Structure 1
Amino acid sequence: MDIFATDSTGKKYNIEIQRANKEAGAKRARYNSSLIDANILSVGYDADELTETYVIFITENDVFGKNKLIYHIDRYIKETEELFHDGSHIIYVNATYNDDSALGKLMHDFKCSNPDDMNYQILAKTARYYKEDKEGISAMCKAVEDLVEDLITDEKKRMALRLLEKQIASIEEIAECADLPIEVVENLVLEKNSSK
């Protein structure tokens, strides 16, 4: 799950739940942070207009292995050990850590499969809706079906692009082999040619 949000003060947040440690590595955090910055400013604007940003990884495992609930990463000046204050923040939340703090209880609820065992009623209510209510179950099934369809379509497009790269078949043949509409393959050709 990825969330991109802006709060009432204009701060930007990229929040991701990561199950695999490699997907929550330092370079991934840096990459996400750079994407936020690259998309905040329009051409011609001053870099001083950059707002404060947060990349937050909620990780299934303790990525750093230091048995902390939360890890804050900010840049600092080595020689003076003072914060650099560039407005860029990276936070890791360790979902394996259990304590009675508000965040510890929230991590418990994230891992909890039984809504009756959750600390926060708003999460319990939502979990019950998607697990027990017919309308909620239907909505969840539809969301999963849409996700699967998107993944399948993305894979078909990757296959079509590989065939286009090899230049061994016509657009019509590629569309047939990849089980894609001809218009989609034609758009892939246009995108490929415009990126050159």
Structure 2
Amino acid sequence: MKESSRFKPLNKLTFTDDYMFGEVLKDPELCAGVIERLLKIKVDHIEYPELQKTIKPTYESHGVRFDVYIKDSDKVYDIEMQNNTYDEILLRSRYYQSMIDVDNLLKGHIYKDLPESFIIFICKNDPLGKKLPCYTFKSTCLETEITNKTDKTVKVFYNASAWDKTENEELKSFFKFICNNKAESSFTKSLLQKVRETIKNEEFIARYMAVNLHDYDIMEAGRKEGLTEGAREAKIQTAKNMLVEKIPIETIVKCTGLSIEEVKNLG
């Protein structure tokens, strides 16, 4: 396999690429800037940015890896960059929310102390097909309006491709940057500059190469396992065909390499 097909070359990385996205948003000022433009709020400070945070409450459970998981003084934000469209994106957000809550509870919080949380998906394409620039989900009561009670969870899905329908100029510029990697505002120019600096950072280069080589090794192991399983399936099908033709079991064993017991079980 060619080197270029294993992972994206460093000089081709953009802000929206998985590893770069997390690396840029490790900068608290840039991270706060993204949140402020998306949610139209003022972030007092970023307590801690965590790149590719993995939450896995128990050894047996399925963990979830967040692109960027951060906190300010009383809120939790999970920011995800989505370059592809997934049919199950709503269910993914549900799982992410549950993992954030479990993570907080395992740290000793009680229910009433759970922070307000925001699951934010920044999507290059329309995630829900209604051509809106933003889709916001909050829990509501169907029977009556309740304004003084909330579960303090918000899920927001942004459709950057609908930048032309966005009235806020700062957000429009950010969405256009997501879609075409062209910086027009001072903020997106700061993001682009950070990307260019990161590409030249030796520590980042080493980590990026290590992560991608690790992923490549896993992929190759899976591919080889798949080839092995495929070869076995082919042997089994050949044996079945030979049994139909009433070819002796001993001959089938010699031709396929299957054991006598395996061939007999196919009959």
User: 1:41 and 2:108 equivalent?
Assistant: no
Shift in alpha-carbon separation, 1:129–1:111, aligned structure 2, 3 A: farther
| Residue in structure 1 matched with residue 180 of structure 2 by the alignment | 112
Structure 1: runs of 5 or more not aligned: 163-196
Structure 2: runs of 5 or more not aligned: 1-17, 19-66, 227-267
Q: Which of 119, 124, 127 is equivalent to 2:192? A: 124
Map 1:85-164; keep pairs closer than 5 Å.
85-98=150-163, 99=166, 101=168, 102-114=170-182, 117-119=183-185, 120=187, 121-130=189-198, 135-136=200-201, 141-155=205-219
Task: For residue 92 of structure 1, give the secondary structure of its aligned residue in structure 2.
Answer: strand
Higher relative contact order (CA 8 A, sep 6+): 2
Q: CA deviation at 1:59?
A: 0.8
Shift in alpha-carbon separation, 1:154–1:10, aligned structure 2, 3 A: farther
Task: For residue 158 of structure 2, give the secondary structure of its aligned residue in structure 1.
Answer: strand
Contact 2:124 2:178 in 1 (8 A): no
| Residue in structure 2 matched with residue 175 of structure 1 by the alignment | none
| Residue in structure 2 matched with residue 166 of structure 1 by the alignment | none
User: 1:69 and 2:137 equivalent?
Assistant: no
Shift in alpha-carbon separation, 1:100–1:88, aligned structure 2, 3 A: closer
Supply the RMSD in Å over aligned alpha carbons.
Answer: 3.0
Deviations 1:26-85 (CA, angstroms, capped at 9, x unpaired):
110000000000100137652111111111111111112222211110010001144651
Deviations 1:102-134 (CA, angstroms, capped at 9, x unpaired):
2221111123334xx432331232244356xxx
Contact 1:118 1:124 in 2 (8 A): no
Partners of 2:88 and 2:69 in 1: CA distance: 16
Q: Which of 116, 127, 141 is equivalent to 1:52? A: 116
Rg (Cα) greater in structure: 2
Task: For residue 90 of structure 1, give the secondary structure of its aligned residue in structure 2.
Answer: strand
Counterpart residue identity of residue 103, structure 1? L
- Pairs aligned (count): 155
Partners of 2:111 and 2:221 in 1: CA distance: 37
Task: For residue 41 of structure 1, give the secondary structure of its aligned residue in structure 2.
Answer: helix
Q: CA deviation at 1:155?
A: 4.2
Identity %: 22
Task: For residue 80 of structure 2, give the secondary structure of its aligned residue in structure 1.
Answer: strand
56-65 or 105-114, which deviates more: 105-114
Partners of 1:48 and 1:125 in 2: CA distance: 42
Shift in alpha-carbon separation, 1:21–1:53, aligned structure 2, 3 A: same
TM-score (norm 2): 0.50
Deviations 1:1-39 (CA, angstroms, capped at 9, x unpaired):
3000001x2311111111222176111000000000010
Counterpart residue identity of residue 156, structure 2? I
Counterpart residue identity of residue 112, structure 1? N
TM-score (norm 1): 0.66
